Amino acid sequence: MHAITDTLAPPRNAFIAKQLFHIIFFTALVLPTYHLFSIGKVLHAIGRLLRLTTYAVTKGEKKLQQPAYMPARLSNALARIAFSQLQRLDRFNTHRVAVAQEFRKHIKTAKRYTPQHEHPQGQSIFLRYALAIKFDKKSKQPTDTKRSFLRHAHAAKLYLGDWYNGPITPLSVPFADVHYEHGSCPRAEQAAASVINLPTYPRLSPDEIKRIIKFMNHEKS
């Protein structure tokens, strides 16, 4: 690993600056004002329009193209941030376990949702807490139930995750490009049509947890 790292060039200063700006921009401006007259949404859109923020997946990567700036050595600035995150990992994980326990204890899953398997002692550490919405027979497809559910959550100012929305993600990637044949993994496709994930991130407050639980228990889609 060290031998490979030593051969890599450091990233460009512009790339490092954009990564650092992305963190500050979202933490200090976008997230705190996301529900305040949609100011955060507007700031997010402006940041993308002006290319001030980064994308989790670039357009080139969606076409199976390696970004021009990769591979590169991890910059000192980003390494310091990563190290500080690792120092807080135990605290983050303890919080995630507690959030998952609240969801498992208070969300009524029997008729509406199928919960995921957990550690028998309830110590599973979920980056996201996944649930499968049971198919509404009135909907033409399972995805209709899921879309309706997420639309209602959005109206309630709850932004639940829809990361697992297909066997290959993002869905904008042509299946043929990654040699995936539709229907070859029916269980994965069926799960993707119904799975949502609830947040467990470290800054999730007790009030937000209660709001999510209340919505999940009363949502009819």
Domain 89-218 has CATH 3.90.1150.10: yes
- The pLDDT score that the predictor gives to residue 218 is 85
Across the range 85-100, mean pLDDT stands at 95
For 65-85, write each residue's pLDDT tens digit. Answer: 888 888 889 999 999 999 999
Ramachandran bin of 51, using left for φ above 0, alpha for ψ from -120 to 50, beta for the remaining angles:
left
> pLDDT tens for residues 124-170?
888 889 988 887 666 556 567 888 888 899 888 888 887 778 888 88
As annotated, the residues of the chain forming the CATH 3.90.1150.10 domain(s) are: 89-218
Mean pLDDT along residues 98-104: 92
pLDDT band at 122 (very low <50, low <70, confident <90, very high): low
pLDDT of residue 137: 64
